[in-house]
């Protein structure tokens, strides 16, 4: 990977008049800003449809795109919606968020409940108009998309339709014939829910069409996209419902064990994620075909992929289903080198970033070295006085990606305000600075000056925002995944020039 830099900003955080970031005008203007700032990468969070808890890491499908990101303005231009319909659906104004349960949620952030109530109704109007008014060429493009995505789209669309019919219950609570996918029950559902099935396919058609247009624009501007691949599928997802044989479920579709992380110095109970675990031995029998299809889909959307929880490929933490904490889990060997070999053989020229944060063993480090993938370094983790840190820049090698922080961290300004005072003082001594108003720039400079091939800075850190702009606080419910940039006026030419100068100073410019 050539020495370069990028900025992390979730799609949902883009400003828009529709309550959530979309693939519309602001996304194109954001790409223009990245180019003006001398950047080469835009890193996003997972793009899938979100469910309970609103986390993009717990998606209803590992293949589908989030329909909330579809730009209504583009649908108006195409004739599938009217401006008045958008206004009637209250999509013309940012959603007002109720008082958050914690101070970390910015007012004016994403209101997912409001989106669920109104966005699907609006998109259904667009689908019905398309169904009645589309010309033969438009119908052919839609049919071609559905055929190209047949490996997953039909199952996901039926899952979507059934979930709506079943009052949004998880598939594990559906009637047994549907839960266990009895052919006769599926055939009846396909017939009776045909409009809902086709509506779901239409939304995916529009998401992919708009995303590919945006990706092409980014490439013209010299910007590549870094995507994010959660290692696990959500239990309530079309993927697990469709491919139960690939997951550790019993004959009634109940999980045998679920994913998480063991207790550590930050969490006495560990982290209980609740995702079903893979039957890696079954996946190995066809050369990890399901995973390779998933990776291909992700590489079609993005140029580089960050694989979340890479250490789970070496060994994963299995927690008996039904446990209330992660205390009773155990480590189980993962697919290791066999999976890495399959990935690299299929995608020899594609770029991967391995998220290797957290509890690491020599075996995990050996697998990362074997893969050749760059790992991650996070500056906010560097200044813990309790232990020697691999995250201090003098410990880096070239083959890594340095972040000031990630979506799971406090912002730089927030960290400086909330960190142990002695840790913050240690950081300032390391930087050779004292407390001052713009000290977040000192940390950014440290990341850009490091030997790491790639430096990625969250936009909130360039803007010097506090924890009101934090994206997620792990192991908490409510108030996460909501932060939005109020408008593009903060992305000034002056800011772009300052970022570009610093980027160029440390040899990360596009030249």
- 480 vs 92, which has greater pLDDT? 480
Q: Which residue has the tokens 């075996």?
A: 363
Interatomic CA distance for residues 76 and 92, integer angstroms = 12
Kindly state the average pLDDT of the residues 28-35: 99
Residue 292: Cβ within 10 Å count: 17
What's residue 101's pLDDT?
A: 39
* Reported confidence tier of residue 267, pLDDT bands at 50, 70, 90: confident
Report the relative pairing of strands 330-333 and 454-458 from DSSP bridges. Answer: unpaired
100 has a pLDDT exceeding 50: no
State the angle between helix axes of 25-36 and 493-505 in degrees (0 to 180), rounded to the nearest 10.
Answer: 40
CA 78 to chain centre: 28
In the set 408, 423, 468, 504, the catalytic residue is 408
106 has a pLDDT exceeding 60: no
490 has a pLDDT exceeding 60: yes
CA 32 to chain centre: 22
In the set 236, 355, 380, 439, the catalytic residue is 355
With CA atoms as reference, report the closest residue to 420 among 210, 308, 265: 265
* Reported confidence tier of residue 90, pLDDT bands at 50, 70, 90: low
Q: Answer whether 1's CB lies under 8 Å from 450's CB.
A: no
Kindly state the average pLDDT of the residues 14-21: 93
- Lowest mean pLDDT, pick from 110-119, 454-463, 488-497: 110-119
Residue 229: Cβ within 10 Å count: 23
What's residue 51's pLDDT?
A: 86
Quote helix, strand, coil % in the chain, to nearest 5.
45, 10, 40
511 has a pLDDT exceeding 90: no
DSSP structural state of residue 50: B
Total residues belonging to the chain: 511
455 has a pLDDT exceeding 70: yes
What's residue 31's pLDDT?
A: 99
Tokens of 195: 């409009």
What's residue 52's pLDDT?
A: 84
Instruction: Determine the longest span between alpha carbons in the chain, in angstroms.
Output: 70
Active-site residue 408, yes or no?
A: yes
> Radius of gyration of the chain from Cα atoms?
23
- Lowest mean pLDDT, pick from 86-100, 163-177, 193-207, 485-499: 86-100
Residues 6+ apart with CB under 8 A from 98: 111
Q: 455 - beta bridge partners?
A: 5, 402
Kindly state the average pLDDT of the residues 431-438: 87
Residue 307: Cβ within 10 Å count: 22
Share of the chain above pLDDT 90, in %: 87
Interatomic CA distance for residues 432 and 423, integer angstroms = 14
Q: Answer whether 178's CB lies under 8 Å from 185's CB.
A: yes
Report the relative pairing of strands 454-458 and 351-354 from DSSP bridges. Answer: unpaired
Kindly state the average pLDDT of the residues 169-190: 97
* Reported confidence tier of residue 105, pLDDT bands at 50, 70, 90: very low
- Lowest mean pLDDT, pick from 25-34, 107-116, 182-191: 107-116
CA 205 to chain centre: 20
92 has a pLDDT exceeding 80: no
- 99 vs 364, which has greater pLDDT? 364
pLDDT in tens, 384-412: 887 789 999 999 999 999 999 999 999 99
In the set 308, 314, 380, 461, the catalytic residue is 308
Q: Answer whether 215's CB lies under 8 Å from 301's CB.
A: yes
Kindly state the average pLDDT of the residues 83-109: 56
Q: How buried is residue 38: exposed, middle or buried, by Cβ count under 10 Å (0-12/13-18/19+)?
A: buried
5 has a pLDDT exceeding 80: yes
Q: Which residue has the tokens 């980027």?
A: 503
Q: Answer whether 60's CB lies under 8 Å from 236's CB.
A: yes
């Amino acid at each position: 990977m050539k020495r370069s830099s990028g900025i992390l900003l979730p799609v949902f955080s883009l400003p828009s008049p529709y309550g959530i970031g979309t693939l519309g005008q602001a996304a194109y203007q954001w790409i223009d800003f990245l180019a003006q700032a001398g950047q080469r990468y835009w890193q996003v969070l997972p793009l899938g449809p979100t469910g309970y808890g609103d986390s993009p890491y717990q998606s209803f499908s590992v293949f589908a795109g989030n329909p909330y990101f579809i730009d209504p303005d583009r649908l108006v231009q195409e004739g599938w919606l009217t401006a008045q319909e958008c206004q009637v659906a209250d999509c013309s104004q940012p959603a007002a968020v109720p008082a958050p349960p914690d101070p970390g949620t910015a007012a004016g952030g994403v209101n997912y409940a409001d989106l669920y109530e109104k966005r699907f109704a609006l998109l259904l109007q667009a689908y019905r108009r398309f169904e009645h008014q589309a010309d033969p060429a438009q119908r052919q493009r839609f049919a071609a998309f559905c055929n190209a995505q047949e490996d997953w789209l039909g199952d996901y669309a039926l899952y979507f339709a059934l979930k709506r019919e079943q009052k949004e219950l998880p598939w594990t609570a559906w009637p047994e014939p549907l839960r266990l996918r009895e052919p006769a029950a599926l055939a009846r559902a396909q017939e009776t829910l045909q409009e809902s099935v086709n509506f779901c396919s239409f939304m995916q058609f529009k998401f992919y069409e708009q995303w590919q247009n945006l990706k092409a624009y980014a490439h013209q501007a010299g910007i590549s996209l870094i995507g994010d691949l959660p290692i696990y599928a959500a239990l309530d997802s079309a993927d697990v419902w469709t491919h139960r044989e690939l997951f550790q479920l019993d004959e009634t579709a109940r999980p045998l064990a679920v994913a998480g992380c063991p207790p550590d110095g930050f969490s006495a109970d560990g982290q209980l994620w609740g995702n079903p675990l893979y039957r890696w031995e079954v996946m190995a029998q066809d050369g990890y075909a399901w995973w390779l299809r998933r990776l291909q889909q992700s590489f079609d959307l993005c140029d580089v992929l960050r694989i979340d929880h890479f250490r789970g490929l070496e060994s994963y933490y299995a927690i008996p289903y039904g446990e209330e904490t992660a205390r009773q889990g155990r480590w189980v060997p993962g697919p290791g080198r066999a999976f890495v070999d399959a990935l690299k053989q299929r995608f020899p020229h594609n770029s991967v970033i391995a998220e290797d944060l957290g509890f690491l063993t020599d075996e995990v480090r050996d697998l990362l070295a074997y893969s050749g993938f760059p790992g991650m370094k996070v500056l906010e983790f560097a200044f813990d006085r309790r232990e020697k840190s691999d995250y201090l820049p003098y410990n880096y090698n070239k083959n890594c990606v340095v972040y000031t922080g990630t979506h799971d961290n406090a912002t730089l300004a927030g960290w400086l305000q909330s960190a142990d005072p002695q840790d913050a003082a240690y950081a300032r001594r390391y930087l050779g600075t004292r407390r001052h108003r713009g000290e977040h720039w000192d940390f950014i400079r440290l990341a850009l000056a490091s030997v790491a091939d790639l430096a990625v800075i969250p936009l909130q850190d360039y803007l010097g925002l506090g924890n009101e702009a934090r994206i997620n606080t792990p192991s908490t419910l409510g108030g996460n995944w909501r932060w939005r940039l109020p408008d593009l006026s903060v992305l000034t030419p002056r800011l772009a020039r300052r970022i570009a100068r610093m980027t160029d100073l440390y040899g990360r410019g596009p030249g």
